[in-house]
Structure 1
Amino acid sequence: MKILVTGGAGFIGSAVVRLAVERGHEVVNLDALTYAGRLENVAAVADSPLYSFEHADIRDRAALARIFAAHDPDAVMHLAAESHVDRSIDGPGDFIDTNIIGTYNMLEAARAQWTATGRPPGFRFHHISTDEVYGSLGDTGLFTEETPYDPRSPYSASKASSDHLVRAWFHTYGLPVVLTNCSNNYGPYHFPEKLIPKVILNALHGKEIPVYGEGLNVRDWLFVEDHADALLLAVEKGRPGRSYNVGGHNERRNIDLVHAICDCLDEKRPRETGSYRDLIRFVTDRPGHDARYAIDPDRITDELGWKPSVTVEQGLEKTVQWYLDNPEWWEPLLEIEGVGTRVGTA
């Protein structure tokens, strides 16, 4: 299968690219290389004859038309997106332009190519989205594919909008689409503005570890390599028009997750005195911070046979070790605007 992956130099996208090439798929990586897109993330497969790269922005319709005509992919895996909630609070315009207008451009470019090649029934447009479109849960319950949308941030609202566009192109034009909505990812190559890498790197530098509110917000954590496996299953076997929730059954309060990271670091690289837990500081909560996310992944398990391979404790150990072993990857990123300081306090 020839797969066009948008955002393939990003965190989740690069995991998809690496796994797809490893499994023998031909991959075209389309990425604008914004601040979070790093070609180092796909260096392991960059020399493969199955891999090619297109430096382009999904907001550029002409570039998309050229790339689709040149490569004629069998499937699209659309991951390119602005994804940091805090940045969406400070600058929502970039999220509207990329996540909504960019997705519209991708849908139209894919539809044009699909139509020009005789509407092959095996073609798939796989849109990768987030559980944040569903809003916030109370102490009980799980997000299912039938949960009504209730986004609370500019980021989640933009992703909800793109989900609706994808479904509309299926119902109106017959474009064979598949959607997935995932829980919070973590793992190697995670950009250091996100919670888990920020905790690891602040701890290693002896800096305060900020935790929003009292750290009681709950997230369902998914190891990125397990997510990549689920995404490839969805694009290969998912039914057109169907959506699949992808989660790890790994709910943790933020404070418990931070404690687990600190404990792992205490074991792997002890401080001269005390524990990394001593660096934890509670800070003013994020505006509109959702209380709890939790995914019911039964549909993708029952229909496609997917299940996560690691618990959050096992995945965290792998993740912490990767950051300890790869300072040459993350050290240059700490100088990027917004990485070393808090954003999204408006």
Structure 2
Amino acid sequence: MRILHVIWSAHLSGAEKLILHVSDEMVAKKIADQVALVLLTEVKRNGQDKVNSLSSLVGNYKVVKIYKSSRNFLEYVLTIKHAIKDFKPDVIHSHDYRATIGTLVALFLLFGNKPKHVVTVHDAHPFIKRINLKSLVAFVTLSFPDVVIVVSEGVFQQMWFRKLLSKKIKIVYNPYLGTRKLEDLRNTSLEKVIMSKEYDFVFVGRLVPKKHPEIFCEVCSRLGAMCAVVGDGELRAQLEKKYGDRVKFLGFKKNVEDIMLRTKFLFLPSEYEGFGLVLIEAMANFCIPVVTPWIGVEKIIEQGKTGYIVQWEIDSMTQELSKLLHEYNTTAKNLLENFPNHLKNFSLHSYVLEIAKIYETVIGNNSKRR
């Protein structure tokens, strides 16, 4: 089986990390013979994103071919078309709406046998909740592929057209992709973990409006706590200028899990998330997630047992986080003990087998894998 992944991205983030890790697992387990990738060439923003350029990092993974395009959509379509003709995949797997539209146009331009098309929707975009021009385009776009994978119940519930496409939509929760072995977490000394914390709160993610890093910075500055921001993006410069004397801006870090291991709480005040992979990464590193109530988060966070959900209001957030911080030494162990068992629901092994089953079904090979 030959798989071609298509993304509209130039930088390593959650979805891109998922593609690369799953590709490695599929090749290692001989589910896929070869994997290729269509991506965007690097677009520098103030020189800060070069360190996590996808095209420079992808060589560390089992991807045999990379097809690069600029952000010109016509060039992007032609690049996908060339990749299909050159690589001859059995399955094309696109990972966002632009990638899916580009793939559909490229497939339309091809003649003869065409590969099967699988789509993953990674985000719970607010526009998808009601009928409008964008959501109608999304509905039409998702009507053509063979299978549409959504990464959480929350993403599925957001779609006003979910019943119309229910036969082709499959919910497959994202897996943990980090460096910790989940089976080893039970043997960790929680007392030592609690005593080793350096930061009170950490934000991990792209510094973009939908993730509201400005709320993280404002709440942390009011608390006077030891706080760090891990990530880059369009908001970094203005946030660093305003809060740089009270919050540490660490930029993109490859050792982000080590930072979470040294932090008491992950605070993620996102407007919406498709899944929130960083929440799973935090739990695997005994960092308690605190999130705002976006749709579907309750499937990952059980209030007071695997994390906390705080309401949308700065003063209220500040008060709740202050209380959590004050009570950390007495309440942390009870939460941290729940993480190893909860994380069993997000294993990479199970995820790979589920995706492999989808691939095999669409290409007409239903052989079971172990």
TM-score after normalising by structure 1: 0.43
TM-score after normalising by structure 2: 0.40
User: Bigger relative contact order, structure 1 or 2, given CA contacts below 8 A and separation 6+?
Assistant: 1
